[in-house]
Structure formats: structure tokens, C-alpha cells
Amino acid sequence: MGNQNRLQIQCPSCNTEIIIDPITGQVLYHEEAKSEKESPKEKSMQELLRELEEKKKKSASRFEEEKEALRNRRALLEKKFKEIKKHVDTSDPGRPPHPFDYD
């Protein structure tokens, strides 16, 4: 019954298989058609190693970008916290009102 709820469509131009939820109309997932030219059997070992190195470099640079963004986010949140902390009234107003006093 799991696959009966899904629409399976194949793109006529690129042969990509698309799985769609018929109720919401959202694409659940897709699988790109693999061309025979991209098969590892056709590529040399040097080409495969070069592609692997490129993927490593991309993932390492993406990791560094996210790490820097996280560092910047922490600094920004700390700055906002300090700014808000300046505007907080530190004088003791006494006890907070009791919720039943509003009745």
C-alpha cells in the first residue's frame, strides 16, 4: 500500500524518475537518469581520483564556510544579548503580580 499512494513519473526529455505525493502534489524524491558516459567503467583512474579530490575540496570549503558562519552567528547573538541586557531595568520592582489578583 505504500507505493500505491505515490505517482511515479518519468521525464521524457531527461529520463529522470520523479515520485509525487498525489494528495499534496509535492515531489517526494527524484532519481536522475544515469548516462552511460558517466559510468565509472568509462573513466580512467586518474579522472576518478581528480573528481574525488574536487569533491573533497568542495566539502572542506563548505565546512569552513559553515564554521565561519557559526562563529559569526555566535558573535552576533552575544552582541544582541549585551545590547538587550543594557536596556533591562535592574531595579527591583518587588514581587510580580499574582495571576489571581486580576479577577
State residue 103's pLDDT score.
Answer: 61
This prediction has a pTM of 0.38
Q: What is the pLDDT along the chain (103 residues), one digit of tens a residue?
A: 455 678 888 888 888 888 888 877 788 878 887 765 555 567 788 988 999 999 999 999 989 988 888 888 888 889 989 988 887 766 666 777 788 877 6
The dihedral built from the CA positions of residue 16, 19, 22 and 26, taken in this order, carries a sign that is negative
